[in-house]
Amino acid sequence: MIKWITLLFCMSMSMMLCAQVTIHGTVKNQSGAPLVNASIIISPVGSSKVIAFKMTDGKGAFTIPLQSGLDSVQVKLNLLNHETEIKTIVNQTQEIHFIAKEKATVLEEVFVKDPMMFRKGDTIVHDVEQFANKNDRTLADVIKRMPGLEIDESGKIKYQEKM
């Protein structure tokens, strides 16, 4: 009899521990259009630790299976050019809908330089000025810094070990 009670207790505990919660829902913009590839991150309340993660599909929908013994969790919406939104929910199967508010992302200033080398037809062109510095005494000093080029003892220039 004790064996049967112990077996029943173990089975019920394993079922409780393996109980799976499913969080599903949608992410839409303020016009009601679905937002694709929004990140949905589930974490413990007050923590940045990720328990589960999913991206929204083409219809802005997500389904996240979750196995956690926590009473409640945080569901975080993260999407570029939109405000991050966090909802605290009870850890049970449920449906959550997000309406994402647009937010401009300010990017830092970017400077674009000419490439140090580029391909022109079947030729690789090197911009020698970008490889040179004020300590160079000869052209050989500059060539040593150019990828694929080297100068042998006799002064001949080789490209990728070839003349």
Q: Is 2-100 in CATH node 1.10.3720.10? A: no
pLDDT at 136: 84
The CA angle 110-148-116, to the nearest 5 degrees, is 20
For residue 63, the one-letter residue type is T
Q: Which residues of the chain have pLDDT under 50?
A: 18
Q: pLDDT digit string (tens) for 33-48?
A: 999 999 999 999 988 8
pTM over 0.75: no
Task: Give start-end residues of each CATH 2.60.40.10 domain in the chain.
Answer: 2-100
Sign of CA dihedral 42, 54, 94, 69: negative
